Each structure stands twice: as C-alpha cells, then as structure tokens.
Amino acid sequence: MFDRDRWNEIYITLSRNKLRTFLTAFGVFWGLFMLIIMLGSGNGLKNGVTKGFGDFATNSFFTWTWKTSMPYKGFPQGRNFNFNNSDIQAIKDNVPQAAVVAPRNQLGNYGGTNNVIRGLNSGAFGVYGDYPEIFTIQSYRLDEGRLLNQNDLNEKRKVAVIGQRVKEVLFDPGEDPIGESIQVNGVYFSVIGVFKSSKSLDRGEEDATSIFIPFSTFQNAFNYQNVVGWFAITSKPNVSASEVEAKVVSLLKERHSVHPDDPQAVGHFNLEDEYNKMMGLFTGIEILIWIVGIGTLLAGVIGVSNIMLIIIKERTSEIGIRRAIGAPPFDIARQIVLESVVLTSIAGYFGLVLGVGILEAVSSAIGEGGGFFANPTVDLSVALKSLLVLVFAGAFAGLIPAYRALKIKPIEAVRTE
C-alpha cells in the first residue's frame, strides 16, 4: 500500500495528461462541492426557521374562546362565553397528561394605542397576565432582575417584567429600570426584571415589546374578575400534545355547555403539529438534496470511470509488458483501482474543503441576524461520510477499467506497436 513505486506510478499516469486529469477530477470536485453547498444551505434554512420557534416548547398548544356556532342545551348559537379560573383546576384534575396549565390574559398589543406611560415617555405594548409557569413554555433570557414567581401571584403584587424594547422606550439609556414604576392603563407597576427574546424575526420583536404581570394582579387591576383569556398548556414527556389538546378541548366544551361538534367555539392551535409539518418539509428538502447531490456525484464518478477506460486503452502495451514479465493480475487491477481512488479522493477532498470553506464564510458573514437563513453548516460526520462514499465510488469506478485491463492478452498488447 505504501510502496513508493506504486505511488510514483500513480503520479506518473495521472500527470501524463494533466488537462484531462484535471477536467475529470473537476467533475468529482464539483459533485461533492455542490452536495456540501446544498446540504449546508438546507441546514441553514432549517436552522433559520427553527430559530424562529426559539426555545418555545414544541409540545405546547393554546386554546381560546369564540362565539358558539351551534345551539346546545337550550343556548342559542352566537353566544359569547369565557373560560374562567375554575377551568384551571378542572383541567389539572381531569387531564393528568397535561404538564403545565397556564391561564393567560392580554391587554393592548404592539402597534395599538399607547397604554403604558412613564413620566414623559409612553408606548403601545402587549400586557400579559401570567402564571410563573409560562416561562417554562416560552423561554426568555433574563437581562436584569428576576421573572415572576408564585408569591407575586399569591399576593397579587403589582410587579412587571418588561421586554428589552419596552425598557428602551420608557427609560433613558444607562438608567436602571429595576424598582422604577411604570403606569399601565392608569395602574402603577414596579419593574422587577428585563428580558430578551430567544426567538427571531417578528416573533422576537413582539416578545421584546411585552410586559408580564401576575395573572391575579391582572384580573384585579383591569376588572377581569375570574375571566381567563386563553390557556397555554404543555403535554407531559412522551405524550403527544395533540392527544392532550383533544381531551382539554372536549372538557372545556362540556364545562361551558358548548356542542361537542361545534367547530369554532373553542379555538386551539397546536405548536407540535406546526413543528412536525415544518420538520417534515425539511426532511423532504434534505432527501431532495441527497438525490440531486448523489446524482451530480455519480456523473463525476462515471467521468472518472470513462477516463480510466481511455487510460487503459493507452496503456495496453504497458500492461501487456507487465503481465508478460510476471505481474500478477491482482497487482494490475489494484494499480488501476488505486489510481481511480486517488483521483476521486483528491478531487473530492478539495470539493469538501472548498464547500465547507464557503459555508463558513457565508455563516460568519450573515452572523446572528440572518432572517430565515442561519448557521449554514454541514455536520463533520456527514462530510466525512460523503468523502468515504466517494472513495468507494472511486474504487467502483476503477473496477470496470480494471476488468478490461485484465482481459488484455499480453502478447497481442506487446505486438501492437
């Protein structure tokens, strides 16, 4: 294997017609290069989109109320109703597969009228009444202070955790917001924490303009009594969110005298479904990339096989001489297969290096704020596997020419001069 003569001969054969060798190698190079670039781009797209989900629990779902569309138990259709505090315990009691049950209420939103004031500064922000558990469903990076806790909820404290953007609008640069008061719809709250969103794009923007206050405080301060706007619920590990969703929705329908078949009265949205759909899409894209990439690679390998056949043709007399003076057939075949493997491996290696290099360059150029495209890289293991596949492909490409070489009759080869 590490015989100097063998490598020397491989070098001599391949360098006898440099342009042809280069063009052949380019086919393989291009195949692997394209495969790496495509895989990287696919990963970039996937990373970009999954980053949009942030650390959002993908086993969560939401459910809210809407007008009924069917009459039931003496109630007419078109009836308005709300979830209430007693639903919280009812869900916990009747649907044991639900892990976190977080009731929520919302006041105002991003882009609405100005509802939050501090001194001369004011802004329009989404104000949410929440259980501390909400932070296990959506995660936020706390910059300063703390998040809500159970005591805030129990004692109905007037405290608020605000988004980064809220701080920028209401406070001067360098000012410490912790302990300061802000006025929400005429009620004063004390700021206890500032957070950053872990999501990207619009969703991240929306988070940054949010203010979280205790659920109990929210109901009291804004006269919601025991109304629950909507629920954010997660399933326990290894339980499908869709399964829990169905149970919770039918329980809530029963509790609020809604027809079990009413399609709109209890709205729900399942992140797991969305997430799975998205992942299915990416699996599809990935399969497509592999098919196209392997096709391109195959074309390059066939090119190598082709050129090896021509080389055999040119070397008929040389192979004849070698066989006449006693080269074992295996030795001749090995030489040709090795040449093929060397050509494909070197070309493939350069394709790999350049592909990964370009992906790295693109990755560092777009940095963090890449929108729907983030961190376009290829697993090292995938890269090495494709190189390994290439080496085998090279050996395979050398087999047909090697077989052809073995069929050369020495005496005929020697005499065709």
Partner 1 sequence: MIKLNAINKSYSIGKNSLHVLKGVNLDIKDGEFVSIMGSSGSGKSTLLNILGILDEYDSGEYYLGGTLIKNLNQSKAAEYRNRFIGFVFQSFNLLSFKNAVENVALPLYYQGIKRKERNRIAMEYLDRVGLTDWAHHMPSELSGGQKQRVAIARALITNPKIILADEPTGALDSVTSQEVMQLFKQVHAKGMTLIVVTHENEIANMTERIIRIKDGVIDTPSEKTNMLTGTEA
Binding positions for partner 1, rule: CB under 8 A: 4-5, 12, 16, 317-318, 320-331, 406, 409-411, 414-415, 417
Instruction: Kindly tell me which of 301 and 408 has the beta carbon lying closer to partner 1.
Output: 408
Whole-number minimum distance, CB 328 to partner 1, in Å? Answer: 5
Instruction: Kindly tell me which of 20 and 409 has the beta carbon lying closer to partner 1.
Output: 409
Whole-number minimum distance, CB 287 to partner 1, in Å? Answer: 44
Instruction: Kindly tell me which of 214 and 320 has the beta carbon lying closer to partner 1.
Output: 320
Instruction: Kindly tell me which of 165 and 323 has the beta carbon lying closer to partner 1.
Output: 323
Whole-number minimum distance, CB 9 to partner 1, in Å? Answer: 8
- The one-character DSSP state at 236 is P
Instruction: Kindly tell me which of 295 and 329 has the beta carbon lying closer to partner 1.
Output: 329
Instruction: Kindly tell me which of 186 and 326 has the beta carbon lying closer to partner 1.
Output: 326
Whole-number minimum distance, CB 324 to partner 1, in Å? Answer: 5
Instruction: Kindly tell me which of 46 and 323 has the beta carbon lying closer to partner 1.
Output: 323
Plot region of 201 (φ>0 → left; ψ -120 to 50 → alpha; else → beta):
left
Whole-number minimum distance, CB 330 to partner 1, in Å? Answer: 7
Whole-number minimum distance, CB 396 to partner 1, in Å? Answer: 22
User: What are the C-alpha distances in Å from 187 to residues 132, 281, 362?
Assistant: 21, 47, 49
Contact assessment for residue 268 and residue 245, using Cβ atoms and an 8 Å cutoff = yes
Whole-number minimum distance, CB 319 to partner 1, in Å? Answer: 10
Whole-number minimum distance, CB 312 to partner 1, in Å? Answer: 15
- Run of H or E including 186: none
Task: Quote the CA–CA distance of 386 and 38 in Å, as a whole number.
Answer: 13
Task: Quote the CA–CA distance of 405 and 124 in Å, as a whole number.
Answer: 80
* Residue 61 identity (one-letter amino acid): F
The distance between the two most distant Cα atoms of the chain, rounded to a whole number of Å, is 106
Task: Quote the CA–CA distance of 188 and 217 in Å, as a whole number.
Answer: 11
Instruction: Kindly tell me which of 310 and 388 has the beta carbon lying closer to partner 1.
Output: 310
Task: Quote the CA–CA distance of 236 and 243 in Å, as a whole number.
Answer: 11
Whole-number minimum distance, CB 51 to partner 1, in Å? Answer: 57
User: What are the C-alpha distances in Å from 243 to residues 239, 272, 389?
Assistant: 7, 11, 42
Instruction: Kindly tell me which of 10 and 101 has the beta carbon lying closer to partner 1.
Output: 10
- The one-character DSSP state at 314 is H
- Run of H or E including 39: helix 18-53
DSSP symbols for 315-330 = THHHHHHHHHTT--HH
Tokens of 48: 């970009």
Task: Give 41: exposed, middle or buried? Use CB within 10 Å, 0-12, 13-18, 19+.
Answer: middle
DSSP symbols for 45-86 = HHHHHHHHHTT--TTEEEEEE----S-BTTBPTT----EEHH
